[in-house]
Amino acid sequence: MHNIKQLKAGQTIPLFSDYQIRLIQAQDLDAIKLMLDDPKVTEYLFFAPAPAEVYEGYFNPMIDEISTAIKAGVWADNLVFIVLDKENQFAGMVGLTQVAMLAGNYEIGYQAPQKSWGKGITTHACQLVSQLAFETLGAHKITADCYASNEGSYRVLLKSGYAQEGLSKHYYKTEQGLEDRLYFGLSK
């Protein structure tokens, strides 16, 4: 995987076209909070909307962990990658977390502001982070889940090589009623 050393060092590397990717930094939190304040973005997120303090409490420890890992020249256990456009503006994010007590198992998730939808940005980022997990972090399984009606999210997973591995009926309670949860997986 090219540019992996730069990415691990916290540098920005090319993703595709006019987009780049790097590890999260403290300066990204405002853009993340703004994105998570958009009802269209949060429609399929069980953890949003929420007060800004909730997002700060969730992301700040990860930002600190990643910053410490960069200084030590190692990968953090929980990674958040930020996608930037050609003007260095926030265009989305992908998270990769280790599953507790299951070495080699990871979960992947992503969010993007509306301006980034339908452009392949999240698919490219998901593919790159999945490749990194297998080739660099020693993953043997990556899983993801989404609302069954979130076509954009499950299409990203399918285009990234993931297969639907399960379904939980009526998992989410939404304003529209009960919503199924889809489970996806990718194995080495």
**What pLDDT does residue 27 have?**
98
Would you say residue 16 lies in a domain? yes
**What pLDDT does residue 175 have?**
83
Mean pLDDT of the chain: 96
Would you say residue 96 lies in a domain? yes
CATH code at position 106: 3.40.630.30
Would you say residue 154 lies in a domain? no
Reply yes or no on whether the pLDDT at 76 is more than 90: yes
Would you say residue 14 lies in a domain? yes
Give the model confidence (pLDDT) of 84-102 as tens digits.
999 999 999 999 999 989 9
Would you say residue 184 lies in a domain? no
Name the band, by pLDDT with cuts 50, 70 and 90, for residue 1: low
Give the model confidence (pLDDT) of 20-42 as tens digits.
999 999 999 999 999 999 999 99
Q: How many domains does the chain have?
A: 1
Would you say residue 148 lies in a domain? no
**DSSP line for the chain:** -TTHHHHHTT--EEEETTEEEEE--GGGHHHHHHHTT-HHHHTT-TT-S--HHHHHHHHHHHHHHHHHHHHHTS--SEEEEEEE-TTS-EEEEEEEEEPTT-TTEEEEEEE--GGGTTTTHHHHHHHHHHHHHHHTS--SEEEEEEETT-HHHHHHHHHTT-EEEEEEEEEEEETTEEEEEEEEEEE-
Would you say residue 177 lies in a domain? no
Give the model confidence (pLDDT) of 90-149 as tens digits.
999 999 999 989 999 999 999 999 999 999 999 999 999 999 999 999 999 999 999 999
- Rounded to an integer, the average pLDDT of 4-27 is 97
Q: Which domain holds residue 115?
A: 4-142
**What pLDDT does residue 46 have?**
87
Would you say residue 175 lies in a domain? no
